[in-house]
Amino acid sequence: MLEKTYLSLYFKTSRFYIFIFTAMLAAVSTTLSAAPAIFTKNELVIPEGAVISGKSNAYYSDITFAMDEQGNLVITGANKNSLVSVESVEVLIMESFPLQVSLSVSGYLSVPCVKLLSPAVSYAYNQFTVVLAESTLGPAETCIAVTEPFQSSIALDVANLSAGTYTVNVNGIETEFILEMDNSPLN
């Protein structure tokens, strides 16, 4: 379950004020179709999210917040998803302007009956962190215990980044890339 020390949300006059402690809740990449968060009957359900905290990253689904007597949203539940095993990460820089960067990631799902979930991508201090997780089996589901290879392409938002060296971390596998020039469109 997602611990309360990671995130506090306060509900004030129809607006959410988010205060983040010790970790950052990363939005799941919008490059894939994602279900929206829903607030109804004093409960907020976020379908997928990730906690990115240095080297200890986690991916959650069905994150539920309920409103308490003071109008604060508190975490009441979340399902932790297993992170996939990543074998390789290749950075692809498209020869265009502005530059476009994507990752080619390969690895293994724990069993062939689960699917790769939408990547959670975060950027801070010249480092992109990507968290890749897999869906879970239902309580009545069984599956053969063999790993299943996957290949995924993930776009990185490099618009307006300065020339320099950038690190990419995908589930603990790190690589670097260099932007030879500033990536800002001409005015």
28 touches 51 (CB < 8 A): no
Claim to verify: residue 55 and residue 106 sit in the same structural domain = no
34 band by pLDDT with thresholds 50, 70 and 90: low
pTM greater than 0.75 (yes/no)? yes
Assess if residue 185 is contained within a domain: no
Can you tell me the distance from the alpha carbon of 134 to that of 124, in angstroms, rounded to the nearest whole number?
Answer: 24
| Domain ranges, residue 43 | 4-80
Q: Is 149 helix (H, G, I), strand (E, B) or coil?
A: strand
Residue 56 has pLDDT above 90, yes or no: no
**Dihedral pair phi/psi, residue 58, rounded to 5°:** -145, 155
- Look at residues 43, 64, 80 and tell me which one is the last residue of a structural domain: 80
The predicted-structure confidence for 61-91, as pLDDT tens digits, reads as follows 999 999 888 989 899 999 999 999 999 999 9
Average pLDDT of the chain is 82
> How far is Cα of residue 145 from the mean position of the Cα atoms in its chain?
26
- Look at residues 29, 61, 80 and tell me which one is the last residue of a structural domain: 80
Per-position b or e across 36-71, b if 16+ CB within 10 A of its CB: eeebeeeebebbbbbbbeeeebbbbbebbbebeeee
Total domains, the chain: 2
Claim to verify: residue 99 and residue 48 sit in the same structural domain = no
